[in-house]
Amino acid sequence: MARRQLRGFDLKRIEGVGSLIGVDEAGRGALAGPVVAAAVLVTRDFLESRWALTRAGRVNDSKQLTALEREELWFDFETLAGQGQIHANFGVAEVWEIEQFNILGATKLAMRRALEGIYPPSAFEHKKEPDLFSPPEEIASFQPTVSARILIDGLPLRSFPYPHEGVVNGDARSLCVAMASIIAKVTRDRLMNDLDTQHPGYGFAQHKGYGTEEHREALLRLGRCVHHREMFLRKLFAQRVDPGQLDFLAEESTATE
């Protein structure tokens, strides 16, 4: 799908609401490190802005961009946020939370934390607008609900505190979801670089915690550290799961729980 269509997708989805909030995560299928989610709020004014018209074509699913391209876009997003043209936030779920709540629960936790930095869940609670027959004090105190549509990459999430729509392959279809995917990816990569300095030898700065051959060899040589996901390692070694399938298994879990 051409990148220029990402903006067009959002222009269609924003009809009838004041803003869109794109949500995506990074690190779900890794063997080590946290899962990170990001949320990006855009308005129609932003989607029709000079930046969106001239520079949004560089935005894509974070996995399709180089590290340098992601960092350059991160700088753009920081500038846009500083100017008030977008609102963005990220949330992190640590390894102990992945172990306690499983990867699906931890992913939802990270997404909730990212969204809470933009709006609390209560802002999306349905409130009946008063009419001419309502008491004067009710009319005076009425606050309209947030006019925003939340788009989450993938299938809709059950038991999630925010009303939302799932968009399969959303990071390749929606501009705000793709922007969120880049923020989540850059944030997590930086966290993994920090872990590499704390735990040298595993190669976290290179493979970012994913199940590469280098990473598996380091695990056999050094054993696990506190930032490895024990349940993922059990699946990898006991069941001989292909590390390339860990993202698929995590996605399958999301679809069935």
Return all residues near 124 (Cβ < 8 A) that are at least 6 apart: 145, 146, 148, 162, 163
143-174: pLDDT as tens digits: 556 789 999 999 999 999 999 999 999 999 99
Q: Is residue 250 scored above 90 in pLDDT? A: no
Range of the domain at 13: 4-125+145-252
Inform me whether the pLDDT recorded for 43 exceeds 60.
yes
Is the residue at 196 inside a domain? yes
If one counts the domains in the chain, the total is: 1
Residue 130 lies in a domain: no
Region 108-131 average pLDDT: 83
pLDDT above 70 covers a percentage of the chain that reads: 82
Q: Tell me the average pLDDT across 122-126.
A: 75
How would you list the strands of the sheet with 87-93, edge to edge? 87-93, 35-43, 19-26, 148-153, 165-167
**What integer pLDDT is reported at residue 231 of this predicted model?**
87
Q: Which residues contact 74 (CB under 8 A, 6 or more apart)?
A: 182, 183, 186
Instruction: With respect to residue 222, please indicate whether it lies within any of the assigned structural domains.
Output: yes
Domain annotation covers residue 199: yes
Determine, yes or no, domain membership for 135. Answer: no
Q: What integer is the mean pLDDT of 80-100? A: 97
Average pLDDT estimate for 124-137: 61
Q: Tell me, what's the pLDDT at 254?
A: 46
CATH number of the domain that residue 65 is part of: 3.30.420.10
Look at residue 139 and tell me if it is in a domain: no
Rounded distance between C-alpha atoms, residue 207 and residue 188, angstroms: 12
Residue 102 lies in a domain: yes
**pLDDT tops 50 at residue 256:** no
- Report which of residues 21 and 1 the model is more confident about: 21
Span 10-17, average pLDDT: 96
Residue 248 has pLDDT above 80, yes or no: no
Task: Name which residue leads in pLDDT, 246 or 43.
Answer: 43
Q: Are 173 and 167 in contact (CB under 8 A)?
A: yes
- pLDDT recorded at residue 142: 46
Residue 140 lies in a domain: no
Q: If you average pLDDT over every residue of the chain, what do you get?
A: 88
Percentage of the chain surpassing pLDDT 90?
76
For residue 257, what pLDDT is reported? 42
> With 90 as the cut, is the pLDDT of residue 184 above it?
yes
